[in-house]
A and B are shown apart, each in its own frame.
Chain A
Amino acid sequence: MALKTWALRKSLWVYHVNTGACNNCDIEVLELLTPRYDIERFGMILVGSPRHADVLAVTGTCTRQAMPRLQEVYMQTPKPCVVLAVGSCALAQGIFAESYHMGSPVDETIRAVDPNAIILYVPGCSPKPEAMISAAVKAMEFLKKL
């Protein structure tokens, strides 16, 4: 068991889900791959399919249209998996909170299908890459207890 969680911590593969973001957080997520931050040092890479992912980096306000899709993507991800809610919009729908086209915030949306989901919050508009690396490190610490 210890070996299993150690391997999981050392190789977190990230799938990036956009649920209606303004593209700012998405650019900051991609910044993690650049030479300045180089997240591959920790074994993290961006993958193309939720089936390969261990981390869902969710950006955006989670609109009514995106809500069922996000739930579907979460259910398609093999467990154990971690959800990173990136940016103010993903945390509490930001300045769009009272709009007509909002679903529920990202954490509520995912808890609706899996009450025990591991969700980490990265606040900021948009969060700095350092904040996301810190969240990734906290995710690794949390997975130790799994």
Chain B
Amino acid sequence: MGLGWILLIFVLSALGTLVLGLLLRWVDRKVTALVQWRVGPPWYQPMVDILKLMGKENMMPVTARGTLFLLAPIVAFAATAVAAAILWAALFYPGATFLGDLIVVIYLLTIPAIMTIMGASASGNPHASVGASREMKLLLSYELPMLLAILVSVSRGGWTFQLGSLISAQVATSPTVLSISGLLAMIIAILCMQAKLGQVPFDLAEAECEIMSGVFVEYSGPSLAYWLMTRAMLLAVLPLLVIVVFWGGLYPTWWGVLTFLVKYVVLVALVTLIRNTNPRLRIDQTMKFFWFGMTPLAVVAVILALVGMREGLSWL
């Protein structure tokens, strides 16, 4: 494959993910409105929001460290776009993946959170620094159970860190989720996904009525638009990661495409439903939930998977 093709695929997948993510944001807002007996915004609303923010003034507080403040949203956006390209490539051409791309994707999906912390710290606003410290603790709490949950699928797929062979291992036998350890791991991964997206039970970094949008308080105009686009793309990318790692990816038949769409919609609907039925947790409750609830559960799932592999019990 030439460099031109790679660039073309990258641009197409980034744009596609962006549009898909903005549409999913609308689904999120519309379902929230319906749950609250409202009508809700029209389908193009998130795109109009981005357009409007792009046309507005970009203000910089005098206390901010300019370069990092403006660079952070762009780096976060770029990292999410690259992660999206790798995941789509793994879905459509499982043969074209490279060794260790799962690790690359995990690293790339951590960058938005780190950039949020750095951008918020660079803005020099006390609300933003409270938000940054919460985001940091949130990152520390959800990252370990997420990695352990992914380890379950990796070990069941024969210790492969390649997305393509992870999918083909699941096609050869059965999806990871159809086993006790896999089911546990996927539930943990869905809860970690909620925290990674910053959706409601874990939205304490940008608590709107508490610390005035927290980490994003000083961002305005185009730089805020980049943050919103990053968030929208994450909403499209993270369900994709869960499907690839735990739920068998995309089979190249019409039935496979249909089930893939159903899986995708189910995961996105879960995010919205969890968001609409839960109050916000405090940061200490969140850390207790992930460290003393989810991490031991993830360890149990890993042990179950290892025992199942040793004894040859594929359902374990």
Contact = CB atoms under 8 A, between A and B. Distances in A.
Interface of A: 3-4, 7-8, 10-11, 35, 38, 40-41, 43, 47-49, 51-52, 54, 76, 78-80
A76 B217 CA distance: 11
Contact of B58 (A7, A41, A76, A78): A78
Interface in B211-227: 212-213, 216-221, 224
B312 interface: no
A48 B207 CA distance: 9
B57 A48 contact: no
A54 B52 contact: yes
Interface stretch (B5-13, B32-40, B100-108, B257-265): B32-40
B contact face: mostly helix, strand, loop, or mixed: loop
Interface stretch (B41-49, B135-143, B162-170, B237-245): B41-49
Interface in B17-76: 29, 33, 36-42, 45, 48-49, 51-52, 55-59
Given A11-B48, A40-B40, A78-B56, A51 B29 contact: no
Contacts of A8: 52, 55-56
User: Chain B, interface size: which category?
Assistant: 20 to 34
Given A11-B45, A38-B39, A41-B40, A51 B217 contact: yes
A8 B49 CA distance: 8
A7 B41 contact: no
B213 A48 contact: yes
B49 A43 contact: yes
B57 A35 contact: no
A49 B216 contact: yes
Interface string B126-164: 000000000000000000000000000000000000000
Contacts of B218: 49, 51
B41 A43 contact: yes
B209 interface: yes
5 interchain residue pairs of minimum CB distance = A7-B51, A4-B55, A78-B57, A51-B220, A7-B52
A143 to B, nearest CB: 11
Pick from A3, A11, A38 the residue with the most CB of B within 10 Å.
Answer: A11
Contact of A51 (B38, B41, B59): B59
Contacts of A38: 33, 38-40
Contacts of B37: 35
Contact of B57 (A7, A10, A40, A79): A79
24 contacts: A7-B48, A7-B52, A8-B52, A10-B52, A11-B51, A35-B37, A38-B33, A38-B39, A38-B40, A40-B39, A47-B213, A48-B212, A48-B213, A48-B217, A49-B213, A51-B219, A51-B224, A52-B220, A52-B224, A54-B56, A78-B57, A78-B220, A79-B57, A80-B56
